Amino acid sequence: MSTPAIEISDLWFAYGGTRVLEGVNLTLPAGEFLAVLGPNGGGKSTLLRLLLGLVTPGGGGVRVLGSPPGEAGGRIGYLPQFTQVSASFPITVLEAVRLGLIRPGLLGLGGFVGRAQRRREHEAALNALARVGLADHAQRRLSDLSGGQRQRVFIARAIVSGPELLLLDEPTASVDGRSRQELMALLAELNTEMTIVMVSHDMSTVDGCVTSIACVNRGLHFHADSRLTPDIFAEATGADPKVGCPVELFAHGKVPHRVVHAHDDPHCCGGRHASGFEGDPKGPKAGGGQGA
């Protein structure tokens, strides 16, 4: 049996004496795409920091790829939540990706690194850009790209070392709807080669991409499924399950499916994404409500 990507047992963590995580347990198999959902201040980003070894738990155990946090090196890729780029910062797309190859204790880009090593870094950065569809933008200034393109560059930076585990903190927060869909499709493709843990406040990113869900609100509840049930919705939002449900993600009040077209309607997807309900291949199509 392969080593789990993440193992957490009885973990707790406190800021200034106030516990923000408590009684956290998780065993995540390699190859999963885990969405970490939860209300603001619930401890989602803190959990990533613990996995990266940036902070130390007050108690309990954490192992990442079989090692203590912070000891897996280039086997882990990380995309932080805030990745703003100043227009006056003259870094190119290729240079930004190569930054993902710098490790503590090493000289910076250039420096006294040998020619062969620089060539390997250059090729690795170009390969990473090709993976995210931006190889032809390598020499452009990073600040000249759109928000969605910049996020792809930052993902390329996170995967340039060929990691086994990719940690993402709100990767779709600063992009438009179309770019969000494209990023999620890219992440689904990358998941065929690496385990992914994605923190997100946007529950619409869950559909069709992730394989499991962890709801974090001081504690952690793991769900080996990607469907948003009322219980998962309540855990992820901190809401009362009696007054909120997943339908509220895209509906209004008591008319859930009347605000969307049927799958086979040309105003929807023309049937491209339709499928029978589970256990009834001839049943009605998912999302088959009437148009408003």
Number of domains in the chain: 2
Report yes or no on 76 lying in a domain. yes
Give the whole-angstrom CA distance, residue 121 versus residue 101: 7
Burial readout 22-31 (b: 16 or more C-beta within 10 A, e: otherwise): bebebebbee
Instruction: Give the mean pLDDT of 179-192.
Output: 91
Q: Which residue range is the domain that position 266 belongs to?
A: 250-292
Taking the alpha carbons of 265, 267, 271, 273 in that order, is the dihedral positive or negative? negative
Per-residue pLDDT, averaged over 196-221, amounts to 85
| 145 and 117 inside one domain | yes
So what's the pLDDT on residue 246?
53
The first and second tokens of residue 61, run together, are: 């155990």
Q: What is the rounded average pLDDT of the residues 46-65?
A: 95
State the pLDDT at residue 105: 46
* Domain shared by 118 and 168, yes or no: yes
Q: Are 40 and 201 in contact (CB under 8 A)?
A: yes
Residue 137 has which token pair? Answer: 């933008």
> What does the pLDDT read at residue 47?
96
Give CA–CA dist 14/22, Å, rounded.
Answer: 9
For residue 265, is it within any domain?
A: yes
**∠ Cα 92 95 100 (to 5°):** 140
Q: pLDDT band for position 61 (50/70/90)?
A: very high
Of residues 56 and 73, which shows the higher confidence score? 56
**150 and 266 part of one domain:** no
If asked whether residues 34 and 146 sit together in one domain, one would say yes
Q: Which of 239, 267, 283 is the last residue of a domain?
A: 239
Last residue of a domain, one of 198, 219, 239: 239
pTM recorded for the entire structure: 0.77
Largest CA distance in the chain: 66
Q: Do 264 and 189 fall into the same domain?
A: no
86 shares a domain with 185: yes
pLDDT of residue 285: 39
Q: Is 161 part of a structural domain of the chain?
A: yes
Structural domain includes residue 9: no
In the chain, DSSP assigns E strands to: 6-15, 18-28, 33-37, 59-64, 76-79, 165-169, 195-199, 212-217, 219-223, 276-277, 280-285
Question: Are 138 and 271 found together in one domain?
Answer: no
| Whole-angstrom distance, CA of residue 63 vs CA of residue 261 | 46
Q: Are residues 229 and 264 in the same domain?
A: no
Both 84 and 211 in a single domain?
Answer: yes
Cα separation, 73 vs 92, whole angstroms:
25
Please report the pLDDT score of residue 12 as a whole number: 97
- In a shared domain, residues 146 and 272: no
Q: What percent of the chain has pLDDT over 90?
A: 48
Q: How does residue 64 score in pLDDT terms, banded at 50, 70 and 90?
A: very high
If you average pLDDT over residues 58-68, what whole number do you get? Answer: 96
- 144 belongs to a structural domain: yes
Least confident of 42-46, 238-242, 286-290: 286-290
pLDDT surpasses 90 at 5: yes
CA angle 153, 158, 164 (to 5 degrees): 140
217 and 260: one domain?
no
User: Residue ranges of the alpha helices (H) in 200-272?
Assistant: 230-237
Question: Is 37 part of a structural domain of the chain?
Answer: yes
pLDDT at residue 103 tops 90: no
CATH number, position 158: 3.40.50.300
Residue 21: inside a domain: no
pLDDT of 203:
72
Say whether both 38 and 112 belong to one domain: yes
* 14: in domain: no
The strand pairing partners of 12, in sequence order, are 59
* pLDDT for residue 271 is more than 70: no
- Residues comprising the chain, all counted: 292
